[in-house]
Structure 1
Amino acid sequence: MSFDLHTATSGRRAAMVDRLKADGVLTSPLLRDALLRVRREVLLPHAYVRISGPGADPIDWRLLDGSHPDDREEWLDLIHSDESILLQRDGEPLDTLARGQVTGGHMTSMSTYTPATVETLQVLGLAPVQRYLGLGPGPGVALALAATTIGPGRATGVERDPHMAAFAQRNLNRLGVGAVVMEGDAFEGHEARAPYDRIHSGIGVPCVPPAWVEQLAPGERLLTTLATRTPSWPGQLLVTRTVGTGRIAAVLRGRPRGYRPMSGYQWLTALDHRARIKADPGTARPTRLAPPADDAYGFWIAAAYLAPGLVRDFQAETMTIVAPEDDSWAVAGPVDGTVRVHGPRDVWAELEDVHAHWVEAGRPQTYEVDLHDGTGVQPVTSGTGPEALNWSLPPLATVPRQMP
């Protein structure tokens, strides 16, 4: 019996949509229709699977080739799952990849897992005849969903990697959705087709590039992840431009997940300290702060800025926060009312202070970001008054950027 790819993929797309609806992630009828129509197997014809365990260097990978019979079922299950799809190592060309095991390299492009893409596109509120700009679209899954929703000729992507830009454009053309991928610097947006009704950044940035705001049409929305140095506590920034006055409003909120940061952004990691922490969790002392809830996003996003240089080990048995550059850490519990600390930096004392100030400020869940400062500084505040939490976003220039 021959393999019917169309039947296999349409059934998996329907199951994916049903799962997203059942989980409460997918609520938009327009996006539901787009998810059923966009053939993911065209945009994601291959996928890397990591073989090595955490901390391995170099890393062993296995490349699944969707056209190969021995890989097909695993590949189809993967690209219709809720996992991120890994597509490119170290900016490699994508036309001559060989299936099977390969050693070394780090991922430079992926397709973000579907629940995050769905949540993002629903926050943007896509509708027919809007103009959409996707920044760092990678293989173009979100771009294809946007183009299917708003109509052909209205969705534009800007991708810095020339191999990925060509790869995405070729596959989008096969789908016939009428989306265009331009090779270029996503920080500059794409002025030629501006203004845009919806701008979505598929890369995390430390602050908002001015070109993005300038290219946003009145009354419309821009959504991006604000990347701090820690992957543990990302922020989501929603920017709107008021009709008539043109006033810019930008609201930051903490989120459980976000997009990976721009290329060249060095994330902190707790992995290298895991064995040492297990062997010596530190000196016990009383604490005035019970471990904050994982979903206290308003607190954690403030901590990412006001107690910088920290990263959480989510695989630890109890809450473990590490300052890797200072060789310091804190392990909460397991005994109630105690915390173990190690190193020259009292990590837990810093979190106690931030939490106390957060409570005094009224436990804010959102923060306003001022994008109007003529100096280029982007101040953040929880409100007015002496108890408000305040900080400024770091400029783009402080982040090293890799060349193509």
Structure 2
Amino acid sequence: MTFPASSALSGPCGPAGDRTGPARKEMVDRLEDDGVLTDPRLREALVRLRLDVLLPHAYVRTSEPGIEPIQWHLLDGSHPEDRQEWLDLVHSGESVLLQRDGEPLEALGRGPVTGGHMTSMSTYLPATVEALQTLRPAPRKNYLELGPGPGVSLALAALVTGHGYATGIERDASMAAFAQQNLDRLALGATVAQGDALDGHVPAAPYDLMHSGIGVPRVPCAWVEQLAPGGRLLTTLTTRTPSWPGQLLVTRTPAGSIEAVLQGRPRGYRPLHGYRWLTAVTLRPRIAAEPGRPRATRLAPLPDDAYGFWIAAAYLAPGLVRDFQAKTMTVVAPEDESWAVADSDGATVRTHGPRDVWAELEEVHARWVRAGRPSLYRVEIPAADGPQHVTSGTGPDALTWTLPAGSGTPQPRRSPSTPDVKEAL
């Protein structure tokens, strides 16, 4: 594979004076040992990419979830007192928090910071690797990153596709300029344009590969229109719950028709700007004090990796969110002040409120079993901007639903203090 040459480079991709090579090698070895990283092109790109250039600072949350205002500490990678903690975080593979409330990024001050919510961050690195390996980038493939943030996945794609083949479209002007400046320091030939990712980016279309760094309730028509024959598009389909995300792979066949497959995943990208997730955080004290009345159940809590069931529940029992910090499985309908708490014996559940949350899950599970326990769902995406239907198959027992119309930015019905997407569980 050929990488761009530049007088600014010294060894691995990035400015001269690089001392992060061992940390990158350790990070890559860890991804391989965990079975996440298998693509040799992507491995070479990860070994070379200077993450410290793309992520020159990092916010660390110092207050507990649910506490307002949030307390942060800003690590400045250029400051001697912060450098080691910052380098460890940048190469940990965890998400790196970069921007509060769309703030300008030119002159952030290190140290304690009070208030605000994160509006941009890097993605959990194993998720980035999995997404790119699903798309299978290759030299001279035209690539579009929808919502690139600081540009980590865009930079990796650029290293594989080559100079001038990777483009990002970023809503936040400050983040777009920040990412472009850092990408230019790496001399990758990647471009970040400022604009609405939901519109795609017509000037460089059509695209062989499209990756969305934001979750969307349905596939924007513009994305499908800009997908080249033989091209692949990967995005998160988001619902009101952050608990059970779905990953959608859209393919345009060489003949021009569209095929799309949805599957549940352990994680997904955060929703588009303005979209509000549900949260169980504010109800935790009440749930602890009033777990509910016990009743028997034949639905023992399903494992977390029963993704086919959980993604169906996100749509067929809407308005639910799971509290993953609870000792036993706890599923909450925040807007209805209802919840279900499964006991550790697996045979008893406690329910509270006007909505019988567990009964709804029991019903979805019964339907899922009758449908053959599907793990994959087909999504019908019409050529025009019409209804997008999801189905597990054919026959009277198939699970079906329709994705919401429009881009969709639902707001909570009840409490104006409900935390938004940036503080989801």
TM-score range, shorter chain: over 0.9
Instruction: Identify the residue that residue 286 of structure 1 maps to in structure 2.
Output: 296
Show the counterpart of 2:416: none
1:385 paired to 2:395? yes
Residue-by-residue CA offset, 1:324-376 (whole Å, 9 max, x unaligned): 00000001112331110000000000000000000000000000101016462
CA distance in 1, matches of 2:384, 2:236: 23
Mapped pair 1:204 → 2:196: no
Q: Once the two structures are superposed, what CA deviation does each residue of 1:114-157 show, in whole Å capped at 9, x if it has no partner?
A: 11100000000011110000000000000000000110000000
Residue 376 of structure 1 aligns with an amino acid whose one-letter code is G
Secondary structure (helix, strand or coil) at the match of 1:200 reads strand
Question: Structure 1 CA distance, aligned partners of 2:344 and 2:409?
Answer: 37
Secondary structure in structure 1 of the residue aligned to 2:32: helix
Does the CA contact (< 8 Å) of 2:95 and 2:123 recur in 1?
Answer: yes
Distance change >3 Å, CA 150–CA 374, structure 1 → 2: closer
**Cα offsets for 1:153-190 (capped at 9, x unmatched):** 00000000000000000000000000000000101101
Out of 171, 176, 180, the position equivalent to 2:182 is 171
Q: Is the 8 A contact 2:340 2:357 kept in 1?
A: yes
Question: Which residue number in structure 2 is paired with residue 258 of structure 1?
Answer: 268
Q: Within 5 Å, give how 1:138-287 maps onto structure 2.
A: 138-244=149-255, 246-287=256-297
Q: For residues 5 and 351 of structure 1, do their structure 2 counterparts lie closer, same or farther at Cα, with a shift above 3 Å needed?
A: farther
After superposition, the Cα gap between the structure-2 partners of 1:39 and 1:397, relative to the gap in structure 1 and judged at 3 Å, is closer
Shift of 1:277: 1.0
In the alignment, the residues of structure 2 paired with residue 171 and residue 82 of structure 1 have an alpha-carbon distance, to the nearest angstrom, of: 19
Instruction: State yes or no: 1:358 paired with 2:339.
Output: no
Deviation at 1:274, TM superposition (A): 1.1
| 4+ aligned runs moved over 6 Å, structure 1 | none
For the 8 Å contact 2:262–2:376, the answer to whether it is kept is: yes
* Shift in Å, 1:395: 2.2
Q: Does 1:120 align with 2:116?
A: no
Equivalent residue letter for 2:30: R
RMSD: 1.4
Q: Quick one: which amino acid aligns to residue 87 of structure 2?
A: L
Question: Residue 217 of structure 1 aligns to which amino acid in structure 2?
Answer: A
How far has the Cα of 1:400 moved from its partner?
Answer: 5.4
User: Which residue of 50, 57, 60 corresponds with 2:68?
Assistant: 57
- Cα deviations by residue, 1:270-329 (Å, 9 ceiling, x for unpaired): 111111111111000111211111100000000000000000001111100000000000
Normalised TM-score (structure 2): 0.92
Q: Distance in 1 between matches of 2:20 and 2:109?
A: 23
- For structure 1, the residue ranges without an aligned partner over 5 or more in a row are none
* Residue of structure 2 equivalent to 1:45: 56
Q: 2:317 matched to 1:307?
A: yes
* Aligned CA distance change for structure 1 residues 164 and 122 (closer, same or farther; 3 Å): same
Deviation at 1:396, TM superposition (A): 3.0
8 Å CA contact 2:39, 2:133 repeated in 1: yes
Mapped to 2, the partners of 1:259 and 1:400 lie a distance apart of 17
The gaps in structure 2 that reach 5 residues or longer are: 1-14, 412-419, 421-425
Q: When the two structures are aligned, how many residues end up with a matched partner?
A: 398
- Asked if 1:336 corresponds to 2:346, the answer is yes
Aligned to 2:90: 79
Alignment match of 2:146 (pick from 127, 135, 146): 135
Report the 3-state secondary structure (helix = DSSP H, G, I; strand = E; otherwise coil) of the residue aligned with 2:58. Answer: strand
Distance 1:43 1:58 in 2: 28
Tell me which amino acid in the other structure corresponds to 1:392: T
Letter aligned with residue 310 of structure 2: W
Higher relative contact order (CA 8 A, sep 6+): 2
For 1:121 and 1:177, the matched residues in 2 are separated by: 17
Distance 1:400 1:294, change over 3 A: closer
- Name the residue aligned to 1:369: 379
Question: Equivalent residue of 1:119, what SS?
Answer: helix
Q: Structure 1 length as normaliser, TM-score?
A: 0.96
Once residues 352 and 373 of structure 1 are traced to their aligned partners in structure 2, the CA distance between those partners, rounded to angstroms, is: 36
CA separation in 2, counterparts of 1:290 and 1:189? 44
Question: Which whole-Å CA distance do the structure 2 matches of 1:126 and 1:361 have between them?
Answer: 35
Among 90, 106, 112, the alignment partner of 2:117 is: 106
Amino acid at match of 1:334: S
Q: Distance in 1 between matches of 2:75 and 2:67?
A: 21
